[in-house]
Amino acid sequence: MKKDVDNLVEKSEKFSKDIRNLNFNIEDAEKYKTSYQNKINNSANAIEEIEKHIQSLKKIMKLMRYFLKKATSDIEELNKQFF
């Protein structure tokens, strides 16, 4: 009987240790999940900012094309006047 009790105590201690290890593993996994989720969110935010910057650059390019065409037209008009 004592041997059975000792055996049960030993198994109980092993289960307790295993449960603590599982809890630590779960906590670590949750930390990694949070860390990776933060990295994903930061990357998504960076992509949004880059997309906004690209749209802004496209608008600037459109204006530059307009002014280039206007300048070319003005130069051609001046050339007609002098030649």
- Tens of pLDDT along 25-48? 999 999 999 999 999 999 999 999
Q: What are all long-range contacts of 41-46, with beta carbons under 8 Å and residues at least 24 apart?
A: none
pTM (two decimals)? 0.60
Please report, rounded to a whole number, the percentage of residues in the chain having pLDDT higher than 90.
Answer: 82
Cα gap 56→41, rounded to integer Å: 23
